[in-house]
Amino acid sequence: MTMKNEESLAFATIEELAALLARRKISPVELTDLFLRRIEQQNPALNAFLTVTAEPALAAARRAEKELLRGRGARRDKSPLLGIPISLKDNLWTRGIRSTAGSKILRDFVPTEDSTATRKLARAGAILLGKTNMNEFAYGIDGANAHYGPTHNPWALDRISGGSSAGSAAAIAAGLCVASLGTDTGGSIRVPSALCGTVGLKPTFGRVSVFGTMPLAPSLDHVGPMARSVADVALLLGSIAGRDPLDPASSARPVEDYRGALKKPLRKFRLGRPREHYWEKLDPEVRRAAETAVREMEKRGAEVREVSLPHLKESLEAGTEISLAEALHVHEATGYFPARAAEYGEEVRQRIESGAKVPAHRYLAGFDVKKRLLAQFEEAFRSVDAVVAPTVPVPAPSIGAESVQIDGEAIGTRPMIVGHSRPANFTGLPAISVPCGFTRDGLPVGLQLIGRAFDESTLLRIANSYERENDWRARRP
């Protein structure tokens, strides 16, 4: 295998690799070995993986290879993930493999069972390469970790990767795995996907089981796929979605054929451009890339309409208060806080402590705001198929930057980054981030689409229609 071929394989999609595996142009063992070598070479600079599972990965690859050689490759139509090397965010339980959730407290925690999403991917034949770095207990948006160090953005090592699913996005962008699963409580799938130039989907609340995931704020938590293409994200979603008796919040609604939905023609669709919040304060290069993307979709049949969502800004504070209160409850219920408060990173400990300052009436009032905002989204969806906006208002800031400059104003990095992503968690609506360009410095920009509850198919079809005509994957870090 030449270096050029290896590079091509490292940045291939699930669909492309599945075809090669089915034709026996490459074996699961060769593919897994390729990614393990790339992790060994590049992870010291990126810090994307906390745990690498080389021996179990190669053993799983050998099992996949035997299945393909026995002529049972026809199963691939039902399980195209057979032999595909992936990673998992380290707050998803993996039986017999440590799952730290990016914390010192769980440094040596080895679960005795898999999360539901982990189990489903394993049954589909995916090969786990390892567990990825993240903000401690998923409580952060920049990819910095007080205990294990920051994840570096593959496009510029001095820049943040975004968080909290930092390592997952960085690993995909750098060609260290084909795909990953992340979690998203305030943007933790979409933000790193946008800043690292990958595709990330936060499904509808309840669409994917969160059983076996270390919670942050249960009413806002989601598990979702991250990959190189919209088609890969659709494939992964179909593999992990569905009702789970172990997660009472999971939905019994039937799982659609998301992959098949992409094959249906999409000639005309309607996009809603919010009058409030999303398009107000933007880095000029982010604005240029996002507006160009919207114009491109208009050329391809989209009708763009202005929509009004006046409770958006109110929802940001309400979502923060719900997150603070629920995070405190989670950490008290596990017994980690305050008993082991000294083992938390300072920033995370302060946020958990802040949960005690949220009065019960403010917490409950937050859900009233949620109802009002959700009603406004539902009204907007009477006339549009999806809401469109930049995923993150700025390109990836420098690691450690406490503020960013927009129009000469210094704005805190965390509220600026999370402000565009949190409303979809707050309402539970599905949202996807797709690459839509680069800054002059070569930093990726992401475009976000928010859709109707349990209508991931429409979001995926719109995102796929844009990606087909504007595929940014040719550019690599």
* Residue 388 parent element (H or E): strand 386-390
Q: Which two tokens stand for residue 446?
A: 């992401």
Strands 386-390 and 403-406: unpaired
DSSP string, 258-274: HHHHTTS----EEEEEE
Closest to 215 measured CA to CA, from 288, 139, 132, 158: 139
- Please give the C-alpha separations between residue 363 and each of 140, 172, 359, 366, in angstroms, as whole numbers: 20, 37, 6, 5
DSSP string, 131-198: EE--SGGG--SS---TTT-PPEETTEEEEE--SSSHHHHHHHHTTS-SEEEEEESSSTTHHHHHHHT-
Q: Taking a C-beta distance cutoff of 8 angstroms, is the pair 89, 183 a contact?
A: yes
Q: Taking a C-beta distance cutoff of 8 angstroms, is the pair 447, 391 a contact?
A: yes
Q: Residue 398's CB: how many other CB atoms inside 10 A?
A: 12
DSSP string, 183-217: EESSSTTHHHHHHHT-EEEE--TTSB--TTB--S-
Closest to 67 measured CA to CA, from 30, 105, 24, 17: 24
Strands 386-390 and 409-412: unpaired
Q: Any alpha helices (H) in 209-359, and if so which ranges?
A: 230-240, 258-261, 284-299, 312-333, 346-354
Q: Which two tokens stand for residue 436?
A: 């839509």
**Residues identified as active-site:** 89, 164, 188
Instruction: Judge residue 372's burial from the number of C-beta atoms within 10 Å of its C-beta, 0-12 exposed, 13-18 middle, 19 or more buried.
Output: middle
